[in-house]
Each structure stands twice: as structure tokens, then as C-alpha cells.
Amino acid sequence: METINPNHTVESLNDLLTAHDIKPTSQRLEIARLLFAHHNHFAAEEIFSMINHGSHSQINSASQNSVSKATVYNTLGLFARKGLVREVIADPNKVFYDPNTRPHYHMYDPSSGELTDISADTVQISGLPAAPSGREVEGVDIVVRLRRLE
């Protein structure tokens, strides 16, 4: 289920960040690569440990590419603010970061911690109320909560 997409060169990631008005630094590229190479949802702590304890160096294969915890959090917040990634609120004790910003929904299994995508193509929702005055709808989140079969 874990596919690594090699179609992200350092240059294309550079362009991606630049297009989102984010100055590409080595730390930001490292974090972006993690998110966009794996098609997966990650929490900040996971990204932090993948970068520091995992074997995912590609940009600078010689050094151990460490990024501080503060920078991981700052960077993910920045990415979300700039619309490069999306925050998914499905678990009360961690925020997931989703490299897919197009409309789609999620299925969450708290017992395994697995968060998977539901394509928006097949899903139809209707009858949702309009935003109250002075507000607009930023997005519609659907989370199908799973549990182990009794």
C-alpha cells in the first residue's frame, strides 16, 4: 500500500514550492519530498522521525539530513497556510497532513491509525446548508470512522 513516487525531482519540488510562494530551503524540500513521494497522510511527529531515523535521504545522500522538530512543525503549518498541503482532523491527538489538496474524503481506523482516501468522484452530497452571513464554506470534511468488527 506504500508506493513511493519517484516522479518528484528536486527541481520539480523546487518549482512546486515556488509556485506556492514558499522559498525552497533544504529543510522544506526534505519535508515536501516525504509528503509528495509517498502518497500518504502523515502527522508532524511521524515526519520528524522519518527524517531523522528513517532512510529517506535522496537530496543529500552523504549527510543525515536532520531537521529540527520546530522546523517540521513550522514548515507543515506554512505548507498548510500556503495551500500546498491540507490538514486532516480525524484523530483527537494528532493532525494529519495530506499532500492531496483536491476535494476528497477520508476513512479512519483509530485502532490502526490508518487514514485512507475516498475519491470524491463517486461520492454525492446534497442538502448541506449554506454558510451563515459573514462566513464562507472553507471545505466539507467527511470522515468515515471505522472500528474492528465485534
Q: Which does 89 bind (CB under 5 to 8 A by kind): its own copies, Mn ion, DNA, none?
A: its own copies
27 lines the binding site for DNA (CB under 7 A): yes
Nearer to its own copies, 50 or 146 (CB): 146
Interacting residue ranges for its own copies, rule: CB under 8 A: 87, 89-92, 95, 105, 107, 109, 118, 122-129, 131-132, 134-150
67 lines the binding site for DNA (CB under 7 A): yes
- C-alpha span between 13 and 24 (Å, rounded): 8
85 lines the binding site for DNA (CB under 7 A): no
Nearer to Zn ion, 46 or 67 (CB): 46
Contacting DNA within 97-136 (CB under 7 A): none
Q: Which three cell numbers stand for residue 99?
A: 499532500
94 lines the binding site for DNA (CB under 7 A): yes
Task: Please list, in sequence order, all residues whose beta carbon lies within 8 angstroms of the beta carbon of residue 16, skipping any fewer than 6 positions away.
Answer: 32, 36, 84
Taking the complex as a whole, the smallest distance from the CB of residue 121 to DNA amounts, in Å, to 29
Cβ atoms of 56 and 35 within 8 Å: the answer is no
Q: Are strands 86-91 and 104-109 parallel, antiparallel or unpaired?
A: unpaired
14 lines the binding site for DNA (CB under 7 A): no
70 lines the binding site for DNA (CB under 7 A): yes
117 lines the binding site for Zn ion (CB under 5 A): yes
- C-alpha span between 93 and 34 (Å, rounded): 22
Q: Which three cell numbers stand for residue 100?
A: 492531496
Cβ atoms of 84 and 33 within 8 Å: the answer is no
